[in-house]
Amino acid sequence: MTQKDLQIKQLLDKEVLNRNSSSELSYDKPDPLLVAKRFDDEYKILLCALFAYGKASLIVKFLDSLNFDLLNEKEEVIKKELSDYYYRFQNGMDIIKIFQTFRNMKQEISLNEVFQRSYNQNQSILEALDSLINIIYDYANYNSQGFKFLVSSPLKRDSKNCIKLIGNAPYKRWFMYLRWMIRNDELDLGLWSNIDKRDLILPLDTHTFNVSKNIGLLSRKTYDLKSAVLITQKLREFDINDPIKYDFALYRIGQEKLV
């Protein structure tokens, strides 16, 4: 490890130690995980992750306004209760449809089992993620610009049907969800026990992207899946068994403009 890499590791290790505390999640330091930690339901937690775009305080405000127990109600009840809701790129029908879709999926399948099956077959977080996204569209039988933004598109593939790194978005909200579900510490929930956390990919947002460039984790200038994978590979040099433990620290460093 170079002297520069050692300095980066020391900085990040210190931040991880300081940040790995429930006190990091409060209305003074808003984060969607503040709401997600109230639940042990993989579908409710996924809703928290998918709506987690925009200003953190407004995300938490919107999540606080939702009745997540609607996932246990009939479709007509969901439609009635959510008809006046909207959130940035999602109109009322988009929000109704995601609740109805998850309600129907919840009665029949486990997200963990779908993910686990593909992960075991391919040993690939990306293939397993693609399986989850595709099955949501299968159940939804609905598409709109707002719904597509919320759920994300299936991952783009090359001529050999391999998932492309260049040309795909970073899938930040999905990788954040996987971090929540697979890692287990004072912040993350650890509800999925059969996926190796060493395989996780960094949930790359604009904060972590800029911080990673500023401190020397990344020299690439394109905000995409390739950059998320490259930073993850670098973080594995710091901790091969748990590289994404650095994600929350990187995010807070950027959010608080510490570098």
Over residues 199-241, the pLDDT tens digits come to 999 999 988 999 999 999 999 999 999 999 999 999 999 999 9
Average pLDDT, the chain: 96
Q: Is the pTM of this model over 0.85?
A: yes
For the chain, the farthest-separated pair of C-alpha atoms sits apart, in whole angstroms, at 61
Host domain of residue 138: 3-255
Number of folded domains that form the chain? 1
Average pLDDT over residues 50-75: 97
Q: Could you tell me the CA-to-CA distances from 243 to 89, 138, 197 in Å, in that order?
A: 32, 33, 8
Model pLDDT, residue 257? 79
Tens-digit pLDDT profile for residues 79-133: 999 999 999 999 999 999 999 999 999 999 999 999 999 999 988 999 999 999 9
